[in-house]
Chains A and B, each alone.
Chain A
Amino acid sequence: MKADVAIIGAGVIGAAIAREMARYDLAVVLLEREVEPAFGTSKANSGVVHAGFHSAPGTLEASLCVEGNAMFDEIAAELSVPFRRNGCLMVAMSPEEVDVLREHLDRGRRNGVPGLRLLDAGEARALEPGLAPEVVGALHAPTSGIVCPYQLTFALVENAVANGVRFMAGSPVTSLHVREGRIAAVETAEAIIETTWVVNAAGLFADQIAAMAGDESFEIRPRKGEEYLLDKRVGSLVRSTVFPVPTPVSKGILVIPTADGNIMVGPTAEDVSDRLDLATTRAGFEAVFAAARRMVPAVSPRDVIASFAGLRAASSERDFIIRPSGVTRGMVHVAGIESPGLTAAPAIARMVVGILRDEGLEARARRGFNPIRPAPVRFSQLSRAEQARLVESDPSFGRIVCRCETVTEAEVLDAIRRGARTVDGVKLRTRAGMGRCQGGFCMPRVMKILSRELGVPLEAITKRGPSSPIAPYPAKALLREAQEEAGDGPGPAVAHVSHHMSPATGR
């Protein structure tokens, strides 16, 4: 297979780059090791579209964050992804912390963040009555927003594919072919893609991909963050995203209203050596709630409906790594993208295309590029009259699959048409299984629809890829296996059990 450009990694960064490249008349391949986009760091992101007052002036983080933030209204509208500028407050709990607010006000102004304002305690509480009485002041950033990070990633990939990008899921890169100091091909388990340009957006594995081309100029040092999601019942605890003053390694533990109407608290920040370590801990749980309740006392661990961890693809460098490889020509690294990477994604994508062109990639605008990704139907959010009309036109809108989030069979079928291949893929696209019963009711139903639509047996349906089959054994398979192991001939399993037991029980 031949391609002009191969992008490695379909997280939000790779997806945004793929969609940006789809504007040009190029053969682009987007490779993903997982079976669906967004299954790595992007699905565990906080979803905050940062205003840009955290980053040090002069860094790529600072400029790309502010630039990316300004692009969100348009990109969210084009891709039909829910996005809200809910504003954020960085709160101070002591006079010393008010000084930190002032520093960030200054930082933000230098970064070009619009609308920043210092609030006194009264103004802060007027904006967010849920704040603790100990809050003495806050920095308010009206441009801060929230988006659903995986919905955005899915939408970017979908729109890229609709504009001609080839998406290959379940395709971990096994090696890079380099000829005369230049990229020649990308090899996966199933294919060799001949290409002279590679974009390394491999997130947690970006250093390993770089090393495949002999480039060991940086190292990924994963930093884990635990997040705790609360029931929608308490979804209005705060309207704005609430930050503490930051720590040296992270923006601290936040109280975040999500794009879907929940409240999320987290994340922790813990350096880990294992890039697959997604375990939550009791210590993390305690730290998150202690920190969140200090700012918003009504946050309660009793309202938790889900907890998870994600890994930031932090690196050995202090800023985003967005540059051509100094070792192998044709390779551009987009690595070490931690917070505010989600916010910066659209700006990063633009910058990467610029770098590729500067490096010599010929890119002519594609005629007929369509930036619009049609909105998926969300039955639960429609009026009764609209619901009635839909059910009338397509009976599968009348079949409710997920009762907690009122997700219809039609929405699940649409998700599968848009690329869902796993139970998690359906869940992240439709919210089936994300409600208060967490899939207890709908999971077997989603499995059956996937089995029917993909034409595979129920035992082959997975949670998130080949190594996570949900119910891999047909009924009686284990009994038959035990029988064969015992060397018995064919016969009813029950007979085998009693035969096996008789010496032990003395019967």
Chain B
Amino acid sequence: MRADVAVIGGGPAGLAAAVAAKRAGAERVVVIERDVRLGGILPQCIHTGFGLKWFGEELTGPEYAARFVDEAASAGVEFMLETMVLEVTQDRRVAAVSPHHGFVVLQCGAIILAMGCRERPRGALVLPGTRPVGIFTAGTAQRLVNIEGVLPGRQAVILGSGDVGLIMARRLTLEGVKVQAVVEIMTYPGGLARNIQQCLRDFDIPLYLGHTISRIHGRDRLEGVSVAPVDDAKVPIASAEWFIPCDTLLLSVGLIPENELSAACGIELDPATGGPVVTDEMETSVPGIFACGNVVHVHDLVDHVTEDGMVAGAAAAARARVAARTPVLGEAGKDAGLESLQAIRTTGEIRPGRNVRYVVPQRFVRHGDAVPAAAAAAARTLTISLRPSEPAENVVLEVSIAGRVLRRQRKQKVRPGEMMQVNVDRLAIPSEKGDALTVSIVER
């Protein structure tokens, strides 16, 4: 089988990318989704708060997803549901299995990786104590409650203050579950300020910052947790420990971009984000393979995921056109068109500076280069997303190159839990090559 653009993952990033690829003229666009339905994690996110930026409206997760599903369907995007991709290769083949389509190999003009992210499990935390039933990642609990219609217990504690955990604190409360506490090891919350207010404070749920769970109790079923403040080395202070009875513990302790396929394909990953290194067109280190959404880095808002997807989709459609013009050569399926394109294209680097944990994109296509595919890069503005390493107040976000400051933005408050974006005028970037753009957060 052939596809101009294959999108791996039918969540918000993949749907936006598929829609954009169609809009940009790609003929056969196929979305490969492993679940029985499209939308990724959105169908289980029945709360509101989606779409304020993209649509200027407050939608639920299913509503937000439905808009893109409808648009993609009417644009003629093809969907392969319950289809799991087993392998992606550098010569742009996708191998997948499905009960409906059997074993499929797609030869693609361009591939868009949109596999999203997964939750950090308990094992990664090494929580001492027993292994009773009743411990779930927040997202798994969300699926059980909102999709499967069953409740895990009566009294819950939530470890970690990531957004999914905060949302579930409210959701469980509304289902009649007593949420005893949210416990966060850092001295600042992991989730959005609005979720701290709307999901915890509005329901009088206590948030213990600088605390962790020091022991799990209960044999077959969870009976409670010991909670303790932590010292500077994040080790629980045993003398200050106390017990909270509960039969449910939700973990909201971080999300990990899901890049097993990318790594197996030999795509360069950024250890800071856990996702592929991408250009501002969302192209990875392998020509013709793009990535967008949470597979690149974990976003706070779905609206930003959609923006990524739109960029990736348009650029992938352009790449697919180039691939279609140049016939596949040889057994390996390598094509001269993309290789030569990669050779003439020059990119600059974007690097995280002081108090910046990561930047995305990590590379940008230099203005003035002859890049036929670069529909998105034709725009004058280069948007850089970033997260600070540490919370800070009254600071300046600075973008510089070779000691020259291109952009300064005052910020009252920055927190690792809130992604920031900064725009740079491409025309202002000097054309000499070799120097990297550096993004820093500095004292005012």
Contacts and interface: CB of A to CB of B under 8 A. Distances in A.
A477 B219 contact: no
Interface stretch (B65-73, B141-149, B326-334, B335-343): B141-149
Nearest to A301: B126
Interface stretch (B94-102, B265-273, B381-389): B94-102
A444 B148 contact: yes
Interface in A433-462: 436-441, 443-444, 447-448, 458-459, 462
A481 interface: yes
B151 A475 contact: yes
Given A305-B121, A474-B151, A477-B176, 13 more contacts: A278-B131, A280-B130, A398-B98, A398-B102, A406-B86, A444-B147, A468-B133, A470-B133, A471-B144, A471-B152, A473-B153, A473-B154, A476-B176
B434 interface: no
Contact of A475 (B34, B130, B145, B214): B145
B410 to A, nearest CB: 37
Given A471-B150, A474-B151, A479 B99 contact: no
Contact of A468 (B103, B129, B220): B220
Interface in B115-144: 118-119, 121-124, 126, 128-133, 137, 139-140, 143-144
Contacts of A399: 82, 98-99
A467 B148 CA distance: 21
Contacts of B121: 305, 436-440
A443 B137 CA distance: 11
B84 interface: yes
A403 B149 contact: no
Interface residues of B, number: 50
Given A440-B119, A444-B144, A467-B220, A474 B103 contact: no
B129 A276 contact: no
A395 B137 CA distance: 30
27 contacts: A228-B126, A276-B219, A279-B129, A282-B214, A285-B126, A305-B121, A387-B97, A392-B103, A398-B103, A400-B34, A400-B97, A436-B121, A440-B139, A441-B118, A441-B140, A447-B148, A458-B149, A459-B150, A463-B220, A467-B219, A468-B132, A469-B221, A471-B151, A471-B152, A473-B150, A473-B152, A476-B176
Contact of B175 (A396, A447, A479): A479
B177 interface: yes
A447 B149 CA distance: 13
Contacts of B122: 438
Contacts of B137: 440
A493 B87 CA distance: 49
A387 B85 CA distance: 13
A478 B220 contact: no
Given A440-B140, A458-B150, A467-B221, A384 B95 contact: yes
Given A397-B97, A440-B119, A474 B149 contact: yes
Interface in A233-274: none
Contact of A438 (B123, B152, B177, B260): B123
B80 to A, nearest CB: 11
B309 to A, nearest CB: 21
Nearest to A393: B102
Nearest to B150: A471
B152 A398 contact: no
A391 interface: yes
Nearest to A228: B126
Contacts of B86: 384, 387, 406
Contacts of B145: 475
A175 interface: no
Interface string A197-222: 00000000000000000000000000
Contacts of A127: none
